[in-house]
Amino acid sequence: MTTSSYLWWQTGVIYQVYPRSFKDTTGSGVGDLWGVVEELDYLDQTLPVDAIWLSPFYPSPMADFGYDVADYTDVDPLFGDLEVFDELVERAHQRSIGVIVDLVPNHTSDRHPWFIESRSSRESLKRDWYIWAEPQLDGSPPNNWISVFGGSAWEWDEFTEQYYLHSFLKEQPDLNWRNPEVKKAMFDVVRFWLERGVDGFRVDVAHYIMKDPHFRDNPVDPERGRSIHRPMGDYDSQFHIHDSGHSDVHDIYREFRQVLDSYSDERPRVSIGEVHIFDWEEWVRYYGENLDELHMPFNFTLLNVPWDARAVRDAVDSLEAALPDGAWPNYVLGNHDESRLATRYGREAARVAAMLLLTLRGTPTLYYGDELGMTDVDIPADRQQDPWILDTAKMGRDPCRTPMQWSPKPNAGFAPPHVDQLWLPLAEDYETVNVQVQLKNPTSLLQLYRRLLTYRRRKPVLQRGAYRALDGVPPACFVYVRTDVGPSSDGWERLLVALNFSSQAQRICVDSWGAGSLSLSTHLDRQGPVDLGDLTLRPHEGIIVEVSDR
Ligand code: NOJ
């Protein structure tokens, strides 16, 4: 690829804003879109990032905090209105920050007018917009499918005496994408946001939208969860081969891509699918046989491997090996459904994780607050919000969704100081772990993110260079090289990234790479010439070395 063929979403860094928790300007205790507008300088100047992905802000009864959409083409008054949304896009674009919105195609809210109409009678013109089925002879649900949130995926409707499918909450009925009217309506939604200037979509549970047309039972998994990477209660008792991921899904994403492409002349738009599939062969299919489906399925592999140099290297190498020619990689270390990165790995390792995420080949997506080392917050039972915890013990996602910690002021600068109760409690450490305090500390985690982000911006080799892991290093280290055409005497630019995953010092020796100049340490306290034949990494230290000769 020539330099000019790289697109903004390939070279850039995406930052996920969970609007409920980013900044509350109205005093409701819930974040809003004005809050995002107010913090554009933070995203642009302090960090800086290239695009934000906004989790849903659409009108919603909030049974699943916005992933139950009651109107796809408006803004919930809690978050603002279309006017502030337009302002956000305009102001973000002035700063060259792209805006990616969440598209929730698999299900609506049960209060969406489409579902209300569908459920009104078997003869309704929208009956077939959702997935309705007859009970079995004994009255039980049509098949054994289980909702991700636990229990049968079918809900009995007393009034019309049929079951409807809900892969998530019963308040989130699944749309029937086999009905061409549904497809048209959803593509109209896509056009609506593209016309308002959005730069792309994060597609919620993208693989779910097509299921087995014959509603066959899922096979039982006797080992409960052998095929998946984290315990999900009841859901683990089956192989989910019929309730999601039917191969007809690919026709839909080919068409979806055409809609996006028809808006991409003046500015390329992007689609990123939330695809929880851990079989690479199946996963890469979402790029499309001719790279004509989603631009990227999210790569969640690193969330599911232990913090161990070999395991992480294997995850990266296996992705690199699985990618079809031209398919662009990406990495995720946190989001609104996962335990916080600093909780999973610890605060020291979180620095190494930041370097990993921002130096691998592919688009990184950061989750708000991870740049501060925000950790999971224990939520007292009477403050819990997530419907998942109410159904399945320990599955609650509230701990990773607590308010952004901006300053040591009351309410952490997230909400006006007089607000009594925030939608979720603040972390207890907010007086020390916050943007304001970390900006004053030259070696804070936030400063490390800033340095990594600005360095990455300056270094095309990090944005687009080839990746190769080095062998012959201590087992606790993951060492790799990024290479690209560049200014050195042999016409190449090379960076060596060495990460120590352990709490002991490690000595590495990569003689063949000659001398180098250390440009960044995760400890933010050293720079300058180093001998690659004898290099010591301190406990939990990662470094980037510019290499001049091989
Ligand atoms: C995936 C989203 O990330 C999650 O938060 C949501 O609960 C489900 N999809 C259902 O929409």
Instruction: Work out which ligand 1 atom sits closest to the CA atom of 335.
Output: 3
Closest residue by CA, ligand 1 atom 2: 204
* 3-state secondary structure string across 335-356: CCCCCCHHHHHCHHHHHHHHHH
pLDDT tens track for 241-284: 999 999 999 999 999 999 999 999 989 999 999 999 999 999 99
Q: Are 371 and 47 in contact (CB under 8 A)?
A: yes
Closest residue by CA, ligand 1 atom 10: 67
Tell me which DSSP letter residue 224 carries: S
Instruction: Work out which ligand 1 atom sits closest to the CA atom of 169.
Output: 10
Q: Under DSSP, is residue 395 helix (H, G, I), strand (E, B) or coil? A: coil
14 CA to middle of ligand 1, Å?
19
155 is catalytic: no
158 is catalytic: no
Closest residue by CA, ligand 1 atom 8: 67
Q: In angstroms, rounded to a whole number, what is the distance separating the alpha carbons of residues 138 and 141?
A: 9
Q: Are 46 and 439 in contact (CB under 8 A)?
A: yes
Q: In angstroms, rounded to a whole number, what is the distance separating the alpha carbons of residues 107 and 82?
A: 22
Report pLDDT for 549: 63
**Which H or E run includes 459?**
none
Q: How far is CA 180 from CA 106, 113, 164, in A?
A: 14, 18, 19
Backbone Cα Rg of the chain: 24
66 CA to middle of ligand 1, Å?
9
Catalytic residue among 32, 64, 274, 541: 274
Q: Are 262 and 187 in contact (CB under 8 A)?
A: no
Q: Are 338 and 353 in contact (CB under 8 A)?
A: no
Q: How far is CA 354 from CA 44, 97, 392, 438, 479, in A?
A: 18, 21, 31, 16, 15
168 CA to middle of ligand 1, Å?
8
Measured from the Cβ of residue 319, the count of other Cβ atoms closer than 10 Å reads 23
User: Which structure tokens are listed for 261?
Assistant: 């492409």
pLDDT tens track for 348-380: 999 999 999 999 999 999 999 999 999 999 999
Q: In angstroms, rounded to a whole number, what is the distance separating the alpha carbons of residues 28 and 424?
A: 12
Q: Are 544 and 455 in contact (CB under 8 A)?
A: yes
Question: Which residue numbers in the chain have pLDDT < 70?
Answer: 1-4, 226-230, 390-394, 488-489, 549-550
458 CA to middle of ligand 1, Å?
35
* Ligand 1, residues at Cβ distance < 6 Å: 64, 67, 104, 168, 204-205, 274, 336-337
Report pLDDT for 228: 56
Q: In angstroms, rounded to a whole number, what is the distance separating the alpha carbons of residues 256 and 254?
A: 5
Report pLDDT for 2: 39
Catalytic residue among 64, 102, 204, 398: 204
Report pLDDT for 515: 84
Q: Under DSSP, is residue 269 helix (H, G, I), strand (E, B) or coil? A: coil
205 CA to middle of ligand 1, Å?
7
Q: Are 252 and 210 in contact (CB under 8 A)?
A: yes
- Kind of pairing between the strands at 535-537 and 506-508: antiparallel
Q: In angstroms, rounded to a whole number, what is the distance separating the alpha carbons of residues 307 and 316?
A: 13
Q: Interior CA angle at 165 toward 159 and 168, to 5°?
A: 120
Q: In angstroms, rounded to a whole number, what is the distance separating the alpha carbons of residues 160 and 124?
A: 11
